[in-house]
Amino acid sequence: MADQEVIKHTKKVYQLWKDGEPSWWHKLKEFLLEIFIIVFAVSISIWFHDLSEKRHKQHDVDEFLNGLKTDLQRDIIELESDRKGFVNTTKAIAYINGIPFQGKLNTDSVRYYGAWFYNEVGFMPNDGRFEGFKSSGKIGDIEDKELQNDIMDLYQEDISSLLSSTTFFSERKGRLVDFLSKNIKQQTDSTSNLKSILVSDEARNICRNLFFTSEIINRYDICIAKSKKIIEAIDRE
């Protein structure tokens, strides 16, 4: 509509200068009026276009944030579950490392902690939506800059640090699992030699290298807290 108005008034300006009847002063006033109308029409057209573009961007942002909230709620459930797994793994390792030289393991304790030596804990973030939104260059459309920064920090720093440390831990812990798998033997009384293997020098040396679980648990806490903070910010939006 604005384009049609611009064309109409542009033609009128052209006709004014071709018309030999009106005085020069009258032509100038009409010319300035038509120019003002053209500028106003163009400005209105640009304003409506910018408003439409802004609404479209905000719609995309709203959809992203609503979806991100769902992703984070699912991630928090897994993060909290994985954190508990590392807490129990820490207790199991601490129990083995706390046995004195030539000490013996308690049967009930080994039965209780034994499963955690084999338990694999590894967080798998629901980050597909974030990666897609980031790669499209739309992250900058989030008007709340603190929220924008928190989202970027969570996925590019906090979760990245967590995955790096858990992967490294799993690789080291895998040595213990391999050692146990190769050396466990069933006894005639339907038990195994697990207790004696766990206090062997090799098992102890491996467990001593699994000392940084507190750092991993701390990184889980950071990711959980940051995820909850982002959800609260989305709710406010």
Buried b (16+ CB within 10 A) or exposed e, 12-27: ebeebeeeeeeeeeeb
pLDDT digits (tens, 9 = 90+) for 154-187: 999 999 999 999 999 988 888 888 988 888 887 6
> What is the rounded average pLDDT of the residues 131-150?
93
Inform me whether the pLDDT recorded for 22 exceeds 60: no
Mean pLDDT of the chain: 82
Residue linked to tokens 């000392």:
211
Query: Which of 35-49, 80-94, 106-120 tops mean pLDDT?
Result: 80-94
Inform me whether the pLDDT recorded for 201 exceeds 50: yes
Q: Which residue has the higher pLDDT, 109 or 80?
A: 80
pLDDT reported for residue 234: 95
Inform me whether the pLDDT recorded for 142 exceeds 80: yes
Other residues' Cβ atoms within 10 Å of the Cβ of residue 72: 25
pLDDT reported for residue 193: 79
Q: Which residue has the higher pLDDT, 222 or 54?
A: 222
The Cα 114–Cα 231 span in angstroms is: 37
Cβ–Cβ < 8 Å for 122, 170: yes
Task: Using a cut of 0.85, tell me whether the model's pTM lies above it.
Answer: no
Length of the chain: 237
Residue linked to tokens 């030999």:
20
pLDDT band at 110 (very low <50, low <70, confident <90, very high): confident
Long-range (24+ apart) CB contacts under 8 A made by 23-26 are none
